[in-house]
Amino acid sequence: MGGEALKGHLDLLLLTSIEAGARHGYAIAEELRRASFGTFDLPDGTIYPALHRLSEAGLLTSEWSEDGRRRRLYTLTAKGRKALERQRASWENFERGVRGVLTLRPTR
């Protein structure tokens, strides 16, 4: 919800979820929904292309699972881990900035 507030922050969520243990798209979506208290309920059209994009960027590697279920399992690369680190820092800074602005109080 909320227009396109997610833009630019999706990668952070995805990478975080994968680092935390989630392995395939569907599970990532579930975990994000749960961990965000329902705030991030990402549709397929959002999550799968994003995973492809991250893979193409070299932040993720993937393989097909062997155990019956046809699912693509993702893992962070070294580059992905570094990117996650940066994204985290970037988020902290972003949040700090917004909070700073939000503390502005009317002067009239």
Partner DNA sequence: TGGTAACCATCGCAACGCGATGCGCCAAAC
Partner DNA sequence: GTTTGGCGCATCGCGTTGCGATGGTTACCA
Q: Which residues bind its own copies (CB under 8 A)?
A: 1-9, 12-13, 16-17, 19-21, 31-32, 35-37, 39-40, 88, 90-91, 93-98, 100-108
Count the site residues for DNA by CB under 7 A: 28
Judged by CB, which is closer to its own copies: 70, or 104? 104
55 binds, among DNA, its own copies, none (CB under 5 to 8 A by kind): none
Which of 81, 68, 79 is closest to 15 using CA atoms?
Answer: 81
Report helix, strand or coil for 43: coil
Written as one letter, the residue type at 69 is R
Mark residue 86 as left, alpha or beta (left: phi above 0; alpha: psi -120 to 50; beta: remaining).
alpha
Which runs of E-coded beta strand occur in 29-107?
60-64, 72-76
Judged by CB, which is closer to its own copies: 68, or 106? 106
Contact footprint for DNA (CB under 7 A): 3-4, 6-11, 24-27, 42-46, 48-53, 68-72
